[in-house]
Structure 1
Amino acid sequence: MPGCYSQSRDIAAHHIYPKKKYPEIQFDTANGITLCKPCHEETYGREEQFVTMLVRVVQTMDD
């Protein structure tokens, strides 16, 4: 997550596009990102609010 500087190895798998709304891509690895536990807790249940930002993060990593 932008602004997160956690060095914790305690991470969680997170769906970029919510699996409830996009069940057809819930197992697509391109729809996943790892987040530290605090960032995952911040985004969990509010995935729609973070889609654009997380897609940008993944695109930046691919560059």
Structure 2
Amino acid sequence: MRALLEEVERLRKENALLKRSCGDLLNNFNELSNRLFDVDETLKKVAKVFPSEDEMESLEWLLKK
């Protein structure tokens, strides 16, 4: 009986560690998602600075530069 209680206690501790690890992993994924969103927004802003591919191929745009 004592061995069973010790095993239950060990499993409870392991379960708590796994829950904490899963929570940390979820937080890391959320942080990564937020960073990727920021990068995406920054890239959108940068892309607006450059002309479209059609504009770059046009003679007018080339002459302006």
TM-score (norm 2): 0.24
Determine which structure has the larger strand proportion and give its number: 1
Determine which structure has the larger helix proportion and give its number: 2
TM-score (norm 1): 0.24
